[in-house]
Structure 1
């Protein structure tokens, strides 16, 4: 039995193969996905991709784990505080699927780093960045390169999981982040036909603390800037990430031909 067949027949993938079939699973195994942003949304997306059998995953995040991440981020444990999220993610993915080729990049997403993030023409980019400028830059350059992107809009300040939707960025409603992203992309003349997950639920603005939290990226002249602290549950952002991964799995395995 060759290595590919041996891999496909591993018991850990039996239930996935039963649902999507061996040929579609082979497509999944031969796929390359980049997850950018490893907070609550990106962490759960990467988790599901690893468990589904995606053969190559690049995980990208400049940040390190801090205690405030523990309420919602899958990589955040007391034992991982202070470690780079990308490195923790890579270790976990390797434990889930030792055959997965996983590449951690501890990079801040900005114009000069995006070519490295997108290197190798990945099959799908999952954008789970929560900062506006890096998100817009990744979406603009990724679509200019002809890449398929699945993007997360705002998941914080929300409670109602029934209001989570998946649609083109052009068709989103009631999401302040989606509106800003769309406006910035159009200003640049960039493609806005990007599949995204968003919520139609109004944000709970009263849960925003008006004091600015010092972003770890600003320490020592690093990238980033102070941002408002926004309330968030472990549930809604995690569901955003799982929906993004689900869409990716359907596209990669050939079960969904609607997203381009």
Structure 2
């Protein structure tokens, strides 16, 4: 019987495993997209992982979020994802922060540690922009997820610079609000140009952190999350090559 990472080692070599083991990845938002991203980072053998999410699991999450089960209903998402990662790699160094991010605590979080990569998977505009600008201004590598909702074709998912995105409302809003051209040029994102049927979006009132809800299907947030994880993991493995 081999060790649990033998297939990964076959692909990336012992040097690659060592790079992953020494890396620290910060995953912000572990819902539909971020939950899959975090699990992929954990299964790849990243040695230190910080998970940030202030949300708890609800029934409506079960169609697309890896943490969401009947048995985990009402539990903190970051805690459930952290437990799953520990169950894969008990040696991982985990920092689970069950907090919402705002202008006041983003800089503190991003500058508190030396992260090799940030995977940003939240859909609230103001903190999302703050995370992106703080990371790039401080030369921290980051991959940001744009909108996976309303889309059904995984083959249209792309990795691009923010300035090159199209047909994505979230990316458009961020582009419009981020004034610095250098950030638009530098920021790597995962997005899909697939056109959305507007009838699949509904406005919600009185729900914290959300202005609208959009239809989703099981596999699309997973595709976005796994693509985000791949960008971060390849970035770590290719460092110093």
TM-score, normalised via structure 1 length: 0.87
1:134-149 matches, within 5 Å, as 134-149=127-142
1:190 to 1:131, Cα distance in 2 relative to 1, 3 A: farther
Maintained 8 Å contact 2:159/2:189: yes
Q: Where in structure 1 do 4 or more consecutive aligned residues deviate above 2 Å?
A: none
Cα distance in 2 for residues equivalent to 1:256 and 1:67: 44
**CA-to-partner distance for each residue in 1:17-36, whole Å, 9 max, x for gaps?**
10111111100110000000
Match of 2:215 among 228, 231, 236: 231
Cα distance in 2 for residues equivalent to 1:235 and 1:213: 27
Match of 2:70 among 63, 73, 78: 78
**CA-to-partner distance for each residue in 1:138-173, whole Å, 9 max, x for gaps?**
111111111000000000000111111111111111
Name the residue aligned to 2:3.
Answer: 11
Name the residue aligned to 1:100.
Answer: 92
Name the residue aligned to 1:5.
Answer: none
1:158-169 matches, within 5 Å, as 158-169=151-162
**CA-to-partner distance for each residue in 1:57-95, whole Å, 9 max, x for gaps?**
000011111000000000011111111111111111111
Does 80-89 or 51-60 show the bigger shift? 80-89
In structure 1, stretches of 5+ residues that fail to align are 1-8, 219-223
Does 10-19 or 155-164 show the bigger shift? 10-19
Q: 1:251 and 2:239 equivalent?
A: no
What RMSD in Å do the two structures reach over aligned CA positions?
A: 1.8
1:100-119 matches, within 5 Å, as 100-118=92-110, 119=112
Match of 1:126 among 119, 126, 142: 119
1:140 to 1:255, Cα distance in 2 relative to 1, 3 A: closer
1:255 to 1:108, Cα distance in 2 relative to 1, 3 A: same
Maintained 8 Å contact 1:44/1:74: yes
1:13 to 1:168, Cα distance in 2 relative to 1, 3 A: same
Q: 1:242 and 2:226 equivalent?
A: yes
CA drift of 1:214 comes to 4.1
Name the residue aligned to 1:177.
Answer: 170
TM-score, normalised via structure 2 length: 0.94
Q: 1:150 and 2:143 equivalent?
A: yes
In structure 2, stretches of 5+ residues that fail to align are none
Cα distance in 1 for residues equivalent to 2:128 and 2:2: 37
Q: How many pairs were matched up?
A: 239
Name the residue aligned to 2:202.
Answer: 209
Maintained 8 Å contact 2:202/2:213: yes
Cα distance in 2 for residues equivalent to 1:120 and 1:95: 25
CA drift of 1:189 comes to 6.8
**CA-to-partner distance for each residue in 1:106-135, whole Å, 9 max, x for gaps?**
111111111342221201000001111111
